[in-house]
Structure 1
Amino acid sequence: MSQGTAPRCPICGNANWHDRALPECTHCGLAVVDLAFDPDQLRTAIADHLRGRSSERGFTLAPHARRNAAWALGLVDGRPAAPRPHSVTLGMIARAGEADTIATMLADLRPAFPHAIVLLDGTAADAAALAERTPWAQIVAHPLNGDFAAQRNRVQALAGGWVLQLDTDEWPDAALLASLGWLPHAADREGLQSLGLPRRNWVDGVQSALWPDIQYRLNHAGIRFAGTVHERPVVPFERTSLALAGAIDHQLSRSRVVERSAVYEAMSTGAGRPSDEAALLRPFAAAT
């Protein structure tokens, strides 16, 4: 079932469902008895079940879907996740010409992260100049050379523990920041190494239909990425999970969406993703 023909999943917000005996969300794995559900009532029923107050009624949760739903609802082992301090490193890849944006972003995020690593597509002089403005962060320079995965891997190699990688047009929302203590801890308990975060795309200030746009950006430092464009971590599937406790906000302009698709297609055939471009340029309400 394609986007626009079915309601969005009450757990992850995805609009696509596997056409099976029980319709199943293609992202988080929630299976429902009938797509004619009330989203609020179903979400409440799932929360009650995960808290041990009721059986599955109107839905089923495979083990991975159960974890996805629990984390989305802020639950661990059937109880509200307890806030806790974290040691997640903020990682960024950026162009040297974005120095002002980077400095502002690092200043604003300083209270939320104990350490930051920025990999500049620039020179050692560019890195030194930015380091003077952001002394709490580690600033390193290396040419991008058209390989986003290699650049992210340089950040990973400089870090330890868990790393949240962001671009200069992205921002972690309050819910994601609040989950950075308990979420990696819960992932460690389950032997997970890579977490997929929802990304909320805003085009000229309007939320787009491309949601949840999962990005695997919260990873153990030992994980490496592959793919020159639309890079993804190289990790066994069973070591990955969705982490729906918060989201990344992504700010774009319409002209940037179109330009980006053309640039990515030139870098790698098929990377332009015309379906993604169409969804980015369609308002969110049109997909509900």
Structure 2
Amino acid sequence: MNQDWPRCPICGNANWHDRALPECTHCGLAVADLAFDPVALRAAVADHLRGGTPERGFALSPHARRNAAWALGLIDGKPATPQPHAVTLGMIARAGEADGVAAMLTGLRSDFPRAIVLLDGTVDDAAALAGRVPWARIVAHPLNGDFAAQRNRVQASATGWILQLDTDERPDAALLTSLGWLTAAADRDGLQSLGLARRNRVDGVPSALWPDIQYRLNRAEVRFAGIVHERPVVAFERTSLALAGAIDHFLSRSRVLERSRVYEAMSTGAGRPSDEAALLRPFAAAT
């Protein structure tokens, strides 16, 4: 991240491809130059997508057009309408997190028609948790140091769309409201994997690592790869960013440091010191 660069007015990313027109490395918005007024530029993009004005001072490729439209709550130039959804909530967790899992499932019960939890624990651990949240499907399987394999077990237990969250994450209200129209639009466009913004909070303070895209909203047939920092294996043209809302991620400073150490031990380079630094830097410090 170059702290001298402005953040993208569509997705909030601070990284830009150095091209004839600087292009956001996340959503693909291309701008005439980086000395833009973010409020005015966002409004100009919105006006263009609503059919009001031509592209001036920016350019949108087809994938960037969809990314921007969804971020602005638009479908085919019109405001998206909330609608019911059939998204399954999926979770992987440690057996020792049972209290947090039960609280999370209880809090989100009215937002998801189905929930699947895969515990890194025993059959007895799963049975005990299932007794507390009988509306959810609770199963157990050892993690064995492979996050992708664990997520894939959850994927294989679902149908349709599934949103996978960790125990320290929560969908914000905007994301919950958008799930219906986002997945309907994705199905219409033949998409299989949607990248969601994740808002990291370290000891309660918003982090500079934003939007921290996580491809967590996927069709059940999608599979993940990578024992850590796992990502879905999907052709680019079957993916899109879905920036109407975000996942809130709650961390402590000690957890950030521990996570980097554990991930590096699992896979060389997975500690990502640049991510650690961005997580520990408050959002206000990034421009």
The normalised TM-score by structure 1 is 0.99
Output the CA distance in 2 between the equivalents of 1:34 and 1:159. 45
> 1:137 corresponds to which residue?
136
CA deviation after TM superposition for structure 1 residue 237, in Å: 1.0
SS of aligned partner of 1:219? strand
> 1:221 corresponds to which residue?
220
> 2:106 corresponds to which residue?
107
CA deviation after TM superposition for structure 1 residue 3, in Å: 2.5
Output the CA distance in 2 between the equivalents of 1:123 and 1:205. 33
CA deviation after TM superposition for structure 1 residue 36, in Å: 1.1
SS of aligned partner of 2:245? coil
Output the CA distance in 1 between the equivalents of 2:62 and 2:174. 24
* Aligned pairs (5 A) from 1:15-94: 15-94=14-93
The runs of at least 4 consecutive aligned structure 1 residues that moved more than 6 Å come to none
SS of aligned partner of 1:245? strand
Output the CA distance in 1 between the equivalents of 2:121 and 2:20. 54
> 2:161 corresponds to which residue?
162
SS of aligned partner of 2:244? coil
> 2:258 corresponds to which residue?
259
Q: Deviations over 1:222-268 (max 9, x none)?
A: 00001000000011111111111110000000011001000000000
State the AA in 1 paired with 2:196.
L
> 1:187 corresponds to which residue?
186
CA deviation after TM superposition for structure 1 residue 21, in Å: 1.1
Q: Number of matched residues?
A: 287
SS of aligned partner of 1:139? strand
Matched, 1:122 2:121: yes
Matched, 1:14 2:32: no
> 2:233 corresponds to which residue?
234
The normalised TM-score by structure 2 is 0.99
> 2:195 corresponds to which residue?
196
CA deviation after TM superposition for structure 1 residue 26, in Å: 0.7
Matched, 1:98 2:97: yes
State the AA in 2 paired with 1:241.
S
Q: Deviations over 1:187-207 (max 9, x none)?
A: 011110000001000000001
Output the CA distance in 1 between the equivalents of 2:39 and 2:115. 38
Output the CA distance in 1 between the equivalents of 2:81 and 2:149. 36
Output the CA distance in 2 between the equivalents of 1:279 and 1:254. 12
CA deviation after TM superposition for structure 1 residue 34, in Å: 1.8
Output the CA distance in 2 between the equivalents of 1:67 and 1:271. 31
> 2:286 corresponds to which residue?
287
Q: Deviations over 1:28-65 (max 9, x none)?
A: 00011121111111111100000001111111101000
State the AA in 2 paired with 1:99.
A
State the AA in 1 paired with 2:52.
R
> 2:242 corresponds to which residue?
243
CA deviation after TM superposition for structure 1 residue 5, in Å: 1.4
State the AA in 1 paired with 2:108.
L
Output the CA distance in 1 between the equivalents of 2:100 and 2:199. 20
CA deviation after TM superposition for structure 1 residue 74, in Å: 0.3
Output the CA distance in 2 between the equivalents of 1:84 and 1:204. 35
Output the CA distance in 2 between the equivalents of 1:3 and 1:222. 37
Matched, 1:172 2:176: no
Output the aligned Cα RMSD: 0.6
* Aligned pairs (5 A) from 1:199-210: 199-210=198-209
CA deviation after TM superposition for structure 1 residue 69, in Å: 0.2
Q: Deviations over 1:135-180 (max 9, x none)?
A: 1100000000000000000000000000000000000001100011
CA deviation after TM superposition for structure 1 residue 107, in Å: 0.4
CA deviation after TM superposition for structure 1 residue 283, in Å: 0.6
Percent pairwise identity: 82
Output the CA distance in 1 between the equivalents of 2:270 and 2:79. 40
Output the CA distance in 1 between the equivalents of 2:86 and 2:257. 37
SS of aligned partner of 2:243? coil
